Amino acid sequence: MTALLLATALLLPHGLSTDASWLWPVQTRSIERGFAPPTDPYGPGHRGVDLPGRAGETVVAVASGTVTFAGDVAGVATVTVDHGVERSTYQPVRATVVVGDSVQAGQPLGSLLTGHPSCRMTCLNLGRLRGDEYLDPAALLGTDKVRLISPDGPPPSPPSWEPEGIVNLLGGPVTSPFGMRRHPVTGEVKLHDGVDLGAACGTPVPAFLAGTVTFSAPRGAYGEQVELAHDDGRVTSYSHLSRRDVRTGDRVEKGNIIGRVGTTGMSTGCHLHLMLLIDGTPVDPLSAG
3-state secondary structure of 239: strand
Dihedral pair phi/psi, residue 280, rounded to 5°: 80, 0
Contact partners, residue 35, CB within 8 Å, separation at least 6: 46, 47, 48, 49, 134, 135, 136, 137, 138
Mean pLDDT over 76-80 rounds to 94
The pLDDT, as a whole number, for residue 96 is 93
| pLDDT band, very low/low/confident/very high, at 74 (cuts 50, 70, 90) | confident
Q: Examine the pLDDT at 91 and tell me if it is beyond 50.
A: yes
Percent of the chain with pLDDT over 90: 37
The pLDDT, as a whole number, for residue 226 is 96
Contact partners, residue 218, CB within 8 Å, separation at least 6: 224, 225, 264, 265
Mean pLDDT over 27-39 rounds to 75
Give the span between the Cα atoms of 244 and 282, in whole angstroms: 22
Kindly report, residue by residue over 35-58, the tens digit of the pLDDT. 877 665 555 557 788 888 777 788
pTM of the model: 0.50
Q: Are strands 87-91 and 65-73 parallel, antiparallel or unpaired?
A: unpaired
- Evaluated on CA atoms 127, 128, 134, 138, the torsion sign reads negative
**Cβ(272)–Cβ(192) under 8 Å?**
no
Kindly report, residue by residue over 152-191, the tens digit of the pLDDT. 555 544 445 555 566 668 877 888 888 887 877 777 777 8
Element (DSSP H or E) covering residue 7 = helix 2-11
Kindly report, residue by residue over 262-287, the tens digit of the pLDDT. 999 989 899 999 998 887 888 888 77
Burial 143-157 (b: 16+ CB within 10 A, else e): eeeeeebeeeeeeee
Q: Which tops the pLDDT comparison, 138 or 226?
A: 226
Kindly report, residue by residue over 143-154, the tens digit of the pLDDT. 444 445 555 555
Residue 242 burial class via C-beta count within 10 angstroms: exposed 0-12, middle 13-18, buried 19 and up: middle
